[in-house]
């Protein structure tokens, strides 16, 4: 790897890290799951195996 290529890759890595910080990203699985729960909703299945959305359609 040439010096220019290495410098370019380091610059790209730094831009990636900066953008990750701006987007509030990290490697914490716990934090990921907490944030996922805020945007994703899970409806438990009914005894007949259909979710609440399916039950409304089959009335």
Rg (CA), the chain: 22
Hey, CA dihedral for 14, 15, 18, 24, is it positive or negative? negative
For the chain, 59 residues long, the average pLDDT of each consecutive 10-residue run is 81 88 80 82 71 53
- At 59 the pLDDT is 46
Whether residue 52 contacts residue 46, with contact meaning beta carbons closer than 8 Å, is answered with yes
Hey, CA dihedral for 29, 30, 31, 36, is it positive or negative? positive
């Amino acid at each position: 790897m040439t010096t220019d290529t290495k410098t370019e890759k380091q610059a790209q890595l730094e831009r990636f890290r900066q953008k990750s910080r701006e987007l509030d990203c990290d490697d914490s699985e716990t934090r990921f799951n907490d944030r996922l729960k805020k945007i994703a909703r899970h409806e438990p299945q009914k005894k007949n195996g259909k979710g609440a959305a399916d039950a409304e359609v089959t009335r």
